[in-house]
């Protein structure tokens, strides 16, 4: 009889062992893999273990993922808040992440587990400016994408400042590549409407941005009005032309004037507003040479191909070959506003949003001022 009991006990113990092993394997299989650009990161047990919650969100310990991405994390015990790179704040129990550029709303709250703060990986990475690709082929994998190429379609008048700003942004996001497509805002708008590759649109006029918004081609929540500018009348540096105001352009001494094409170049539309304000648009139009983009007008004036031209004050400030005759008063034209937004067709919307957000950072604002823009 004792032999029978021993045999039964052995069978039970073996069954329990098999069950415990299967439980361990199941738990191991259920732990999601977190990778960066396709390379899984190693997470020490002391840092916490990622898991998939009941709503299929991949929850990750903030510190391990942020530090793997090169960020610095500190803990403020007085406010029970994790602070990433001094600007991103995640308070325990809150459903928001505060950043330098705004607030990110989560569909859950941050929680504490084994002394670690957890949030869904997609929200953490959005705050850091990275996209996440999730797959479930061989278990759950959340791949954080840092190596991206963003195409920035920007007004020609932004070329100088954005070219310099590129190095500032890449210092923060070294794995990102920025490709710029500079041109007339109206032309860039048309390109986006026709499906051209663009992650960010940075226009020299609100009208172009509004047109794309109306057609549902932008992520509306990312639209930011960033900059202001001035419209100026310029002549070649050595010009002896006897004019001192916009109204003087109607004089017979002016044979030609370079203007942006009003239908596609915002600077040209502003110029039309100004001359209409002074009731001389018909006379000016008769002697106008239209070009696109606005930087082409600057070149024409520099080379003396036209007697004078209308450009932005930032364009004139960038050239030693022209001089400013007059600056248009605000009442003479529609407000000059440079908005930026993420294009809905972007495949890297989080990274594109991060770039748009960067445009309103303290570093970016200082650079815009250096180039003569006004921050709004």
pLDDT single digits (tens) 43-68? 888 888 999 999 999 999 999 999 99
3-state secondary structure of 161: helix
> What pLDDT score was predicted for residue 69?
92
Q: Is the pLDDT assigned to residue 22 strictly greater than 60?
A: no
Q: Which tokens is 364 given?
A: 């970016």
Each residue's pLDDT tens digit, 210-229:
999 999 999 999 999 999 99
Handedness of CA 333, 339, 344, 346 (dihedral sign): positive
> What pLDDT score was predicted for residue 75?
93
Q: Is the pLDDT assigned to residue 7 strictly greater than 90?
A: no
Q: Mean pLDDT lowest for which of 24-28, 129-133, 193-197?
A: 24-28
3-state secondary structure of 257: strand
Each residue's pLDDT tens digit, 296-342:
999 999 999 999 999 999 999 999 999 999 999 999 999 999 999 99
C-alpha–C-alpha distance, residues 269 and 103, integer Å: 36
> What pLDDT score was predicted for residue 8?
41
> What pLDDT score was predicted for residue 14?
39
C-alpha–C-alpha distance, residues 297 and 291, integer Å: 6
Over the chain, what is the mean pLDDT? 90
The mean per-residue pLDDT over the stretch 357-365 comes to 93
> What pLDDT score was predicted for residue 113?
87
3-state secondary structure of 69: coil
| Closest among 243, 264, 262 to 306, alpha carbons compared | 243
For 117, half-sphere exposure in the C-beta direction (CA atoms, 13 angstrom radius) is 24
Q: pTM here? A: 0.81
With cut-offs at 50, 70 and 90, classify the pLDDT of residue 115.
Answer: confident
Q: Which residues pair with 102 in a beta bridge?
A: 99
With cut-offs at 50, 70 and 90, classify the pLDDT of residue 138.
Answer: confident
> What pLDDT score was predicted for residue 27?
39
Is 84 within 8 Å of 66 (Cβ atoms)? yes
Q: Which tokens is 247 given?
A: 């109204």
> What pLDDT score was predicted for residue 45?
81
> What pLDDT score was predicted for residue 100?
83
Tell me the H-state helices in 103-228: 121-128, 159-172, 185-193, 206-214
Q: Is the pLDDT assigned to residue 17 strictly greater than 80?
A: no
Is 81 within 8 Å of 93 (Cβ atoms)? no
> What pLDDT score was predicted for residue 85?
92
């Amino acid at each position: 009889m004792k032999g029978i009991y021993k045999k039964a006990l052995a069978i039970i113990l073996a069954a329990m062992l098999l069950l415990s092993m299967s439980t361990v394997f199941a738990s191991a299989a259920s732990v999601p893999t977190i990778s960066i650009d396709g390379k899984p990161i190693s997470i020490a047990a002391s840092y916490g273990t990622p898991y998939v919650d009941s709503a299929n969100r991949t929850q990750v310990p903030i510190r391990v993922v942020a530090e793997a991405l090169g960020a610095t994390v500190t803990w403020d015990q007085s406010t029970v808040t994790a602070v990433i790179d001094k600007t991103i704040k995640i308070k325990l129990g809150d459903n928001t992440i505060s950043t330098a550029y705004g607030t990110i709303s989560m569909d859950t709250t941050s929680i504490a587990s084994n002394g670690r703060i957890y949030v869904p990986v997609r929200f953490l990475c959005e705050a850091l400016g990275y996209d996440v690709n999730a797959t479930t082929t061989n278990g759950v994998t959340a791949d954080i994408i840092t190596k991206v190429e963003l195409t920035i379609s920007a007004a020609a008048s932004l070329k100088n400042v954005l070219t310099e700003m590129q190095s500032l942004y890449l210092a923060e996001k070294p794995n990102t590549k920025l490709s710029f497509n500079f041109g007339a805002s109206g032309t860039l708008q048309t390109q986006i409407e026709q499906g051209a590759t663009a992650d960010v649109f940075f226009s020299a006029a609100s009208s172009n941005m509004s047109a794309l918004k109306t057609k549902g081609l932008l992520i509306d929540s990312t639209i930011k009005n960033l900059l202001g500018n001035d419209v100026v009348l310029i002549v070649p540096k050595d010009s002896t032309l006897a004019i001192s105001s916009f109204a003087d352009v109607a004089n017979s001494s002016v044979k030609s004037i370079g203007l942006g094409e009003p239908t596609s170049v915002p600077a040209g539309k502003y110029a039309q507003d100004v001359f209409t304000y002074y009731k001389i648009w018909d006379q000016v139009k008769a002697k106008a040479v239209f070009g696109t983009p606005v930087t082409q007008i600057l070149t024409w004036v520099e080379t003396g191909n036209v007697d004078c031209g209308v450009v932005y004050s930032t364009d004139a400030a960038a050239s030693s070959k022209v001089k400013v005759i007059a600056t248009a008063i605000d009442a003479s034209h529609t407000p000059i506003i440079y908005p930026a937004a993420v294009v809905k067709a972007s495949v890297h919307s989080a990274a594109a949003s991060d770039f748009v957000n960067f445009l309103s950072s303290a570093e970016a604002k200082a650079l815009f001022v250096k180039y003569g823009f006004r921050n709004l």
